[in-house]
Copies of this chain bind each other. A is one copy, B any other.
């Protein structure tokens, strides 16, 4: 049986007109294969629901999830009813009706199991399943939400569970670009990317797909496509790197302004200090990214600089200052005005000189590098936030990305 999963986010189902447009796209694909459509709630509804939670100042996770997941009932039923009017044999399903079983972590639940047999049974009786994204139930039978990027995760998880031929993620951009087109007007759409590249792009600032769903697709070797619900053009395919005929040395440049730098100075230069610092932060689920460690001038005390997401900087500072006794540092400074710029490409693995070109390009623009981190297919540098746009533009030029076709 040919089968694809199609996911549409909140802006694609924001009103009846837009849901009719989604129906057009689904109708076209339904002539070729069986379909599972995954939908979010109408854009706006999720905010309205969050405003109720804020108004009552609710910290009750079970209740909040019940509120946050109510919008999908409406969108899946509307789309399914429209499809039926067009004589497409469709059924709407909520998370509990599959069921999609998650752990008990409300607001950021992980999918533990999907009842594949029941889905296949539905696909015998129906040509299209319209499934509520973002939601599941835990083993106690309470509704759980999957957190940020949750509908993408639902789509990828269900596509993996049923071995779908492809998972199409419809969004408001028509693919993944060599860099942010709002910063560099010559940015080009990338026709094909490796999972690893997409993963590095997502985690280094490109917002088109959530890291979690890319990881899940990679693990299950599921072909992803990012495309627009507004144009009928092909989007960007994200595939196993073995399927890439030519591996680009640099596929794209991404940036993140959501970075803060913390510098701890005057730490006794003894073994185990780094482990102590990063252990404290890890225990509180704070993600540390780039780390630079220097021995200070006097040869006795060390300095450590590292980056964390902006919204965690105050919490991290508090944790470290409360543990001054354990770490015994002299001073702690934070800087929220920093950006991370990354160049990403599968071809980098077999090619030298990529890093050299990056550093030279930035040096030519008199941009100071505050920290560096690398992986096999990515080089990231930390710079002052004010230089973000010019750094991205220069690197996009330097690696000839505007010449991509």
Contact = CB atoms under 8 A, between A and B. Distances in A.
A55 B97 contact: no
Contacts of A394: none
Given A70-B74, A73-B69, A73-B73, A84 B56 contact: no
Contact of A67 (B60, B73, B142): B73
A77 B80 CA distance: 26
Interface centre among A16, A55, A77, A81 (most CB of B within 10 A): A77
A277 interface: no
A64 interface: yes
Contacts of A264: none
Contacts of A63: 77-78, 80-81, 84, 92
Nearest to A76: B66
Interface string A45-57: 0000100110111
Contacts of A58: 78, 81-82, 85
B55 A16 contact: yes
A399 interface: no
A44 interface: no
Contact of A73 (B66, B92, B97): B66
A141 B121 CA distance: 14
Given A92-B62, A97-B141, A56 B81 contact: yes
A62 to B, nearest CB: 7
Interface in A56-111: 56-58, 60, 62-64, 66-67, 69-71, 73-74, 76-78, 80-82, 84-85, 91-92, 94, 96-97
Residue among A73, A80, A94 with most chain B CB within 10 A? A73
A52 B74 contact: yes
Nearest to A132: B66
Contacts of A91: 62
Interface in A13-60: 16, 49, 52-53, 55-58, 60
Contacts of A62: 91-92
Contacts of A81: 53, 56, 58, 60, 63-64
A65 to B, nearest CB: 8
Contacts of A16: 52, 55-56
Contacts of A70: 70-71, 73-74
A117 to B, nearest CB: 14
B85 A56 contact: yes
Nearest to A19: B56
A324 B267 CA distance: 102
A67 B56 contact: no
B78 A52 contact: yes
Contacts of A96: 96
A49 B74 contact: yes
The residue among A16, A81, A84, A91 with the most chain B CB atoms within 10 A of its own CB is A81
A394 to B, nearest CB: 50
A115 B46 CA distance: 32
A16 to B, nearest CB: 5
A106 to B, nearest CB: 12
A55 B97 CA distance: 27
19 contacts: A16-B55, A56-B81, A58-B81, A58-B85, A63-B77, A63-B78, A63-B80, A63-B81, A63-B84, A63-B92, A66-B74, A66-B92, A67-B73, A67-B77, A70-B70, A70-B73, A70-B74, A73-B73, A96-B96
Given A60-B85, A96-B96, A97-B142, 8 more contacts: A16-B56, A52-B74, A58-B82, A64-B77, A66-B94, A70-B73, A70-B74, A94-B143
